[in-house]
Structure 1
């Protein structure tokens, strides 16, 4: 997806359609809300760069992954500040996921990739 805040609506709409098509309607509200929050925040933190969005249903849970191309920070102070800023921006996501009994987090991508991965797991 394009790294643009307008992509949040596109992601939300596509994910809702996929969940409905596969008979996972109970997940529509929390997962689409989580997707739009993750896409909007990552697009603001890394504007103009592409985002990858993945949605899977496995082990009776829906797993959402948003991978962005946010550059790694060489200085540990700057990396910690960036992580804190990202977590503050995702406060609404945290509230929704917690309310639905799910988990979420962020981590640096592997060394062969660049960027950051943000994920959400919503149990049935």
Structure 2
């Protein structure tokens, strides 16, 4: 990823992007061990956009679903600090069809 950011003239984004990706992957791998993850990195509209899809199953019970969302946000506190410090935004939600699992995203202004 660092090489791609250098090639596209975005060396200043290496530090925050590396930390963001590390947090997203570590968190998703802990919640869905042994399952596939998909990471997308895109530079568009003067922002770096990072998206990670994991295969965390959806919870049919509303209480369990709400608790899982709270757990996800709490465990991503370091990501939240980095993104906030760089003036970005982040979030997560259930992935839309045809994908399954959870889509987490981060937008960092360039």
Same fold per superposition (TM over 0.5): yes
Distance in structure 2 (CA, Å) of the matches to 1:106 and 1:22: 27
Runs of 5+ consecutive residues of structure 1 not aligned to the other structure: 1-14
Runs of 4+ aligned structure 1 residues displaced above 4 Å come to none
Distance in structure 2 (CA, Å) of the matches to 1:111 and 1:22: 31
Runs of 5+ consecutive residues of structure 2 not aligned to the other structure: none
Deviation, 1:92, is 0.2
The partner residue of 2:15 within 18, 26, 29 is 29
Aligned-pair RMSD on alpha carbons? 0.7
Distance in structure 1 (CA, Å) of the matches to 2:28 and 2:13: 22
Match for residue 106 of structure 2? 120
Query: When the two structures are superposed, what TM-score results if normalisation uses the length of structure 1?
Result: 0.87
Match for residue 52 of structure 1? 38
Query: When the two structures are superposed, what TM-score results if normalisation uses the length of structure 2?
Result: 0.97
The partner residue of 1:85 within 61, 68, 71 is 71
The partner residue of 2:90 within 104, 117, 120 is 104
